[in-house]
Structure 1
């Protein structure tokens, strides 16, 4: 397999995703704004060619993937003065895995189309575990032809891959996904507190409740971490707060109240305010709001 692809953003998720592409035989040119990151080393160890500039990553790439932070980060990486659009060949397909909301995705897609470039919004879910194991859920918005062109690459990184509709649709589904994730954590934290008060082993909660109607990915993967205070990040608090901000913006436009989202956001903000490290902890650190 000789196709060359670019991967921009080798963080907690991107490093593993780029590594999985390389393991499937693709030539991957990887770039990260901050070279000294664990994800960069993970990608390099799998055969990703780490390059010093975004230009070097994009030049010659058939497809350009990006996985960064908020809307301004995506705009800078794709559309900025030294962004991917400047160096990509005409008709190159750009795929963004970041969570940025539907409107931003549509705006970016149009700006790229004006430069004869194609775009898919493809936000992901599954945390660092899914990124590492290649089992991510990938929610895609864009044209059918572009989706089919990207599908072999998606299959190297994910397990559940769905074209949800036109550009922006992947982001729309991801917003709903983030509501479910945030509120699920509220339930897990409170269940673990009640289990503790009753003298139960938290493993019992994960094993027994996880097999019934209360079962979820979050309970299986984060339940014990919540109970034991393991707040190592798979998905950081600063990122879920950014996502819930996007959810609120959509809800406000639709004049729809979401009290559950307000509760979860408040709990995450309480943790964020505790110390300088909190923003970088995993979302399971919501438990700290109940301990302080």
Structure 2
């Protein structure tokens, strides 16, 4: 299959590289050309192009991985978007986190152009994107999902079909609540370890093997302990996701734990000044120590 990959950020650069390494023909496009992800895609053998039109013309599967809902809508439905240049029958797979309502809207607008849509948000951070071990939650027509599975299996280890369009997004928002509250627990456990004179590295190592173990503790707990705030997933992106959670709930029911995590991330967002949002979610610890 000929593929296009639109959006070569922290995740997309590695994901497009994995497709190219696996032997797929990949037209890669990024709105800003001088990003690290662009270099990663190029070095893996992707074909860097300068426009969406050039990227998607005559390809079978079009992957998008960008930021917020307006970014996804611009790339897919905008004036120079996918909808105007993709060939009929092509499959559009969006790996962004945009919520169920936005996914359904995009899918409906693609139907008159005979373009198929899968919402396929991912979890696993830059580590999972680099290693091809992402969890991918997919919503859409099941037959289209089956057609896209070879691509998805190149990018992830745990591929789950969740149901109709928007179902992948629904599961991803639940994932983001869990990830956010995991980070609250990690930060507070590390603070308690330090208060008691226990090496946080030791605490992370031991607790990762017990009932409190999690991907977040094993992968991000050590980063918190070492003060390593390089982003695998930026604070500004988790804040976007939690905003979509809030919009989906419309305050019914209220989620006090999620509201706390959102508050702590926002405190870090405004540090440095305002550059804190570009750090990884593990920088939440700064809200306790500096905020």
Instruction: Tell me the TM-score range normalised by the shorter chain.
Output: over 0.9
**Is structure 2 residue 153 aligned with structure 1 residue 155?**
yes
CA–CA distance in structure 1, aligned partners of residues 275 and 246 of structure 2: 25
Partner of 1:195: 193
Which of 128, 131, 136 in structure 2 is aligned with 1:130?
128
CA–CA distance in structure 1, aligned partners of residues 41 and 177 of structure 2: 30
Which secondary structure state, in structure 2, belongs to the residue aligned with residue 114 of structure 1? helix
Post-superposition shift, 1:231?
Answer: 0.4
State the number of aligned residues.
289
Which of 15, 18, 27 in structure 2 is aligned with 1:17?
15
Which of 52, 55, 74 in structure 1 is aligned with 2:53?
55
**Is structure 2 residue 169 aligned with structure 1 residue 171?**
yes
**Is structure 2 residue 222 aligned with structure 1 residue 224?**
yes
Between 79-88 and 195-204, report the one with greater CA deviation: 195-204
Which of 267, 271, 277 in structure 1 is aligned with 2:268?
271
Between 102-111 and 274-283, report the one with greater CA deviation: 274-283
Structure 2 alignment gaps of length 5 or more = none
Partner of 2:280: 282
Partner of 1:261: 258
Partner of 2:246: 248
Which of 197, 204, 207 in structure 1 is aligned with 2:205?
207
- 1:262-286 deviation per Cα after TM superposition (whole angstroms, max 9, x unaligned): 0000000111112232011000010
User: TM-score w.r.t. structure 1 length?
Assistant: 0.98
Which secondary structure state, in structure 2, belongs to the residue aligned with residue 65 of structure 1? strand
Which secondary structure state, in structure 2, belongs to the residue aligned with residue 211 of structure 1? coil
RMSD: 0.8
Post-superposition shift, 1:43?
Answer: 0.7
Which secondary structure state, in structure 2, belongs to the residue aligned with residue 60 of structure 1? coil
**Is structure 2 residue 178 aligned with structure 1 residue 180?**
yes
Q: Is the 8 A contact 2:3 2:26 kept in 1?
A: yes
CA–CA distance in structure 1, aligned partners of residues 74 and 100 of structure 2: 17
Partner of 2:81: 83
Between 174-183 and 225-234, report the one with greater CA deviation: 225-234
| Runs of 4+ off more than 3 Å | none
CA–CA distance in structure 1, aligned partners of residues 130 and 114 of structure 2: 33
CA–CA distance in structure 2, aligned partners of residues 77 and 291 of structure 1: 39
Partner of 1:4: 2
Structure 1 alignment gaps of length 5 or more = none
Q: Is the 8 A contact 1:251 1:258 kept in 2?
A: no
CA–CA distance in structure 2, aligned partners of residues 159 and 229 of structure 1: 29
Q: Is the 8 A contact 2:201 2:225 kept in 1?
A: no
CA–CA distance in structure 1, aligned partners of residues 26 and 90 of structure 2: 15
User: TM-score w.r.t. structure 2 length?
Assistant: 0.98
Which secondary structure state, in structure 1, belongs to the residue aligned with residue 165 of structure 2? coil
- 1:147-173 deviation per Cα after TM superposition (whole angstroms, max 9, x unaligned): 011100001110000000000000000
Which of 221, 232, 235 in structure 1 is aligned with 2:233?
235
